[in-house]
Amino acid sequence: MNSVEGKIALISGGARGLGGMSAKKLAQAGAKVVITDLREEEALATLDEIESAGGQAKFIKHDVALEEDWIEAVKFTVEQFGGLDILVNNAGVASAARPLEELSLESWRRLTSINLDGVFLGIKHAIPHLRERAHLWSGGGSIINISSIMGFIGGARSAAYCASKGGVRLLTKAAALELASSKIRVNSVHPGFINTPLFRGGVEQAEQRVQGGGQKFIDAVVSRHPIGRLGEEQDIANAVRYLASDDSAFMTGTEMVVDGGYLAQ
Ligand SMILES: NC(=O)c1ccc[n+]([C@@H]2O[C@H](COP(=O)([O-])OP(=O)(O)OC[C@H]3O[C@@H](n4cnc5c(N)ncnc54)[C@H](O)[C@@H]3O)[C@@H](O)[C@H]2O)c1
| Degrees, nearest 5: CA angle 29-90-41 | 80
Q: Which of 40, 93, 263 to mutate to test the pocket of ligand 1 (most atoms within 8 A of CB)?
A: 93
Residues whose CB falls within 8 Å of the CB of residue 37, separated by 6 or more in sequence, listed in order: 12, 13, 14, 15, 16, 19, 43, 59, 61, 62, 91
Domain span at residue 128 reads 8-193+234-264
Task: Give the confidence band of 92 by pLDDT, cuts at 50, 70, 90.
Answer: very high
Task: Give the confidence band of 125 by pLDDT, cuts at 50, 70, 90.
Answer: very high
**Res 95: pLDDT:** 84
**Res 232: pLDDT:** 98
User: Are residues 60 and 76 in contact, defined by beta-carbon separation less than 8 angstroms?
Assistant: yes
Read off the pLDDT of each residue in 119-140 and give the average, rounded to a whole number: 98
- Residue ID of nearest Cα to ligand 1 atom 30: 63
HSE-up (13 A, CA, CB side) for residue 220: 9
| Degrees, nearest 5: CA angle 206-201-191 | 105
Task: Give the confidence band of 1 by pLDDT, cuts at 50, 70, 90.
Answer: low
- pTM score over 0.85: yes
Ligand 1 centroid distance, CA of 232 (Å): 14
Question: DSSP H helical segments within 114-191, as ranges?
Answer: 118-133, 159-179
**Res 253: pLDDT:** 98
Name the nearest CA neighbour of 142 among 129, 156, 161, 157: 129
Helix axis angle, 118-133 to 159-179, nearest 10°: 20
Determine, yes or no, domain membership for 220: no
Catalytic entry in 161, 193, 217, 242: 161
Atom of ligand 1 nearest to the CA of 161: 43
Task: Give the confidence band of 212 by pLDDT, cuts at 50, 70, 90.
Answer: very high
Q: What is the CATH number of the domain that holds 153?
A: 3.40.50.720
114 in contact with ligand 1, CB cutoff 6 A: yes
Read off the pLDDT of each residue in 133-158 and give the average, rounded to a whole number: 97
- Residue 89 phi/psi, 5° resolution? -85, 90
137 in contact with ligand 1, CB cutoff 6 A: no
258 in contact with ligand 1, CB cutoff 6 A: no
Determine, yes or no, domain membership for 138: yes
91 in contact with ligand 1, CB cutoff 6 A: yes
| pLDDT tens digits along 22-76 | 999 999 999 999 999 999 999 999 999 999 999 999 999 999 999 999 999 999 9
Read off the pLDDT of each residue in 183-197 and give the average, rounded to a whole number: 98
Determine, yes or no, domain membership for 3: no
- Residue ID of nearest Cα to ligand 1 atom 21: 17
Share of the chain above pLDDT 70, in %: 99
- Residue 207 phi/psi, 5° resolution? -70, -35
Task: Give the confidence band of 20 by pLDDT, cuts at 50, 70, 90.
Answer: very high
13 in contact with ligand 1, CB cutoff 6 A: yes
152 has a pLDDT exceeding 80: yes
38 in contact with ligand 1, CB cutoff 6 A: yes
Domain count, the chain: 1
Determine, yes or no, domain membership for 201: no
161 a catalytic residue: yes
Compute the distance between CA of residue 234 and CA of residue 163 in angstroms, rounded to an integer.
26
Task: Give the confidence band of 3 by pLDDT, cuts at 50, 70, 90.
Answer: confident
- Residue 234 phi/psi, 5° resolution? -70, -25
Determine, yes or no, domain membership for 206: no
Determine, yes or no, domain membership for 253: yes
Q: Which of 37, 40, 113 to mutate to test the pocket of ligand 1 (most atoms within 8 A of CB)?
A: 37
Read off the pLDDT of each residue in 232-255 and give the average, rounded to a whole number: 98
193 in contact with ligand 1, CB cutoff 6 A: yes
The SS3 of residue 158 is: coil
Q: Are strands 56-61 and 86-89 parallel, antiparallel or unpaired?
A: unpaired
Atom of ligand 1 nearest to the CA of 94: 43
Determine, yes or no, domain membership for 205: no
- Residue 3 phi/psi, 5° resolution? -75, 140
Beta bridge partners of 8: 32
Read off the pLDDT of each residue in 137-147 and give the average, rounded to a whole number: 98
17 in contact with ligand 1, CB cutoff 6 A: yes
Ligand 1 centroid distance, CA of 115 (Å): 9
